[in-house]
Structure 1
Amino acid sequence: MAGPSRQQLPDFLLGRIGRRAYPGLAWQGPGRTVFSVPWTRFDEENFDLNRDTTLFKLLQEWETNQGRPVNPPNPTKWKARLRNAIARSREIEEVSDQTREEGGQPCRVYRFTDQDASASSQSASVESEGNVAPLPTILVSVFYRGVEVTLHPLETDCWVLYPPALSPHEQQQVLQTLPSDVALLKLPSPVVPDDPINQVLSNFRQGIFLYVSAGCVYAVRRCAARVYWRRSDSPDVENVLQRDETVQILDCAGAGGDVQTLSVDLSVGQSFMCYGLVVVVVTATR
């Protein structure tokens, strides 16, 4: 069975510039031909929060568009490939060959050389957007022994973690390095002393990253605790969320028919074969 057709680079970028899901990937000026691309400086040995920036998502989607595997993630190599693709394109040119700062963040500025094609692609994008179903409402709930302890709307990138397991210095580092477009969902301490839950949470430290891109929900496990996940449409299939791998856990856009609600359960520290002490639930409702 043939896979989806690959988008050409200009169309790929035009479909994303100015969208809320890609903060910083924006038009520069009213002409809608010049645009800026966030140009994060990735640390090859420790991606830290950089893996969840706009550039990381853009690079990952371009790699997927080109039919290349995205695990293990290699944003440094991806960035070089994207820049080479832009350099080879006859429809895009770099306004400056220097990385500049915009709002305190590094970015590169490019221009579409074919204004008619740019306007046509944007018009087509707007028209197709009008035919797309409304975006679902996505909520993140956390349960301790089956009791909901917190609820958070997933409207932007979200870092779910347990601050009490971090030292004061580590907590300060989190606050200092957290991008402005990433929400922090802090898990509460158990109301009553609960050694099994405390043991699970002590290994949850760096938690899980969640983000939405192109109608799909992705998860990145950052914690030492094992994480198992299963979807509501295949409850008998248990998956393991490998550490530092980006995994699509929900495809909201691809759910057809009369499906109104999709959800995925992420059990922290225990397989679903055991009783779920700490479970993160992501629910998408149309």
Structure 2
Amino acid sequence: MSVRGYLCNGSDQLLQEWETNQGRPVNPPNPTKWKARLRNAIARSREIEEVSDQTREEGGQPCRVYRFTDQDASASSQSASVESEGNVAPLPTILVSVFYRGVEVTLHPLETDCWVLYPPALSPHEQQQVLQTLPSDVALLKLPSPVVPDDPINQVLSNFRQGIFLYVSAGCVYAVRRCAARVYWRRSDSPDVENVLQRDETVQILDCAGAGGDVQTLSVDLSVGQSFMCYGLVVVVVTATR
């Protein structure tokens, strides 16, 4: 049966078989959880890419279109390029720093995926639900509770419930905003350009491999807040150094 047939017959057979193949079958069956895990796996994969201009509806439902990339050709091209240059660029060191009200509370090497979250806004059950959609080795970067009760700050933090997910793939750093709070991001090589991180969209925020040999350090700031008065409440800084 084709992939389209799997998804259109309503049986969720493809998703269930993928979960079983990964060694993490869900019992009782939970199609919503399967879909969330599969979306995360696709977003992290170097072998699959979304065909953004072909998003359409199938059977009245929104449908995203993906395709497999030619990894062999890409690897061959990269190998030829390295051989012609006679050297190999060193892998960057990528660090994630989390600042809360101007104070650094966490410093984490981005060797494994990480989830920046505010635990007081999530019940243990809700936190476990989110973790089930993330890789098993994800690192949790937790914000502390406010020292002084402050309604505007508590409002922003409550909207930061599901936080931000960060990971590295093919020399690039990606971010996924899972929270309701607004998140703005700005790179060190274009400090005047402020971007909005849209919710549940996977966004490439740093391209370490394509920065060029002269660039030794790249960084990006992700600022959480609903308004200017909350700017600097939570800032996530990702730095790549060669």
TM-score, length basis structure 2: 0.62
Q: Please provide the CA RMSD for this pair.
A: 11.5
Deviation, structure 1 residue 112: 15
For residues 194 and 162 of structure 2, what CA distance do their matches in structure 1 show?
23
User: 3-state DSSP class of the match of 2:165?
Assistant: strand
| Equivalent residues of 2:40, 2:133 under 8 A apart | no
2:228 aligned counterpart, secondary structure: coil
Count of residue correspondences: 230
Aligned pair in 2 of structure 1 residues 171, 259: CA closer, same or farther (>3 Å)? Answer: same
Deviation at 1:270, TM superposition (A): 4.0
Percent of residue pairs bearing the same amino acid type: 100
Going from structure 1 to structure 2, the CA distance change for 1:66 and 1:120 (only over 3 Å counts) comes to: farther
- After superposition, the C-alpha distances for 1:230-256 in whole angstroms (9 at most, x for unaligned) are 001111110000111111111111112
What is the alpha-carbon distance in structure 1 between the residues aligned to residue 92 and residue 108 of structure 2?
A: 14
1:188, distance to aligned residue in structure 2 (A): 2.1
Report the CA distance between 1:135 and its aligned residue.
Answer: 1.1
Deviation at 1:142, TM superposition (A): 1.1
Question: SS state of the match for residue 134, structure 1?
Answer: coil
Bigger Cα displacement from structure 2, 97-106 vs 69-78: 97-106
Deviates most, 207-216 or 180-189? 180-189
Structure 1, unaligned runs of 5 or more: 1-56
In the aligned structure 2, how far is the partner of 1:220 from the partner of 1:193? 29
Q: Describe the shift of the 1:187–1:137 C-alpha distance in structure 2 as closer, same or farther (beyond 3 A).
A: same
For residues 89 and 207 of structure 1, what CA distance do their matches in structure 2 show? 22
SS of match in other structure, 1:190: coil
Mapped pair 1:262 → 2:218: yes
**Residues 118/233 of structure 1: CA separation in 2 closer, same or farther (3 Å cut):** closer
C-alpha distance in structure 1 between counterparts of 2:40 and 2:193, whole Å: 40
Give the match for residue 60 of structure 1.
16
1:73–1:245: 8 Å Cα contact kept in structure 2?
no
Structure 2 distance, partners of 1:188, 1:144, is: 8
Q: Classify 1:58/1:212 alpha carbon distance in 2 versus 1 (closer, same or farther; 3 Å).
A: farther
CA shift for structure 1 position 175: 4.5
8 Å Cα contact 2:114-2:138 kept in structure 1: yes
Cα displacement (A) at 1:164:
1.3
> In the TM superposition, what is the alpha-carbon distance from 1:196 to its structure 2 partner?
3.3
Change (3 A) 1:282 1:106: same
The answer on 1:246 being equivalent to 2:202 is yes
Q: CA deviation at 1:193?
A: 3.5
Q: Distance in 2 between matches of 1:102 and 1:174?
A: 28
SS in 2 for 1:234: coil
Cα distance change of structure 1 residues 69 and 154 upon mapping to structure 2, 3 Å threshold: same
SS of the residue 1:254 aligns to: helix
The Cα shift of 1:147 comes to: 1.4
1:82-120 superposed Cα distances (whole Å, 9 cap, x missing partner): 999999999999999999999999999999999999998
CA offset at residue 210 of structure 1?
0.8
2:209 is paired with a residue whose SS is coil
User: Are the equivalent residues in 1 in contact too, given 2:44–2:169 (CA < 8 A)?
Assistant: no
Cα drift, residue 208 of structure 1: 1.0
1:228/1:270 contact within 8 Å kept: no
Gaps in structure 2 of 5+ consecutive residues:
1-12
Cα distance in structure 1, aligned partners of 2:215 and 2:28:
32
1:141 corresponds to: 97
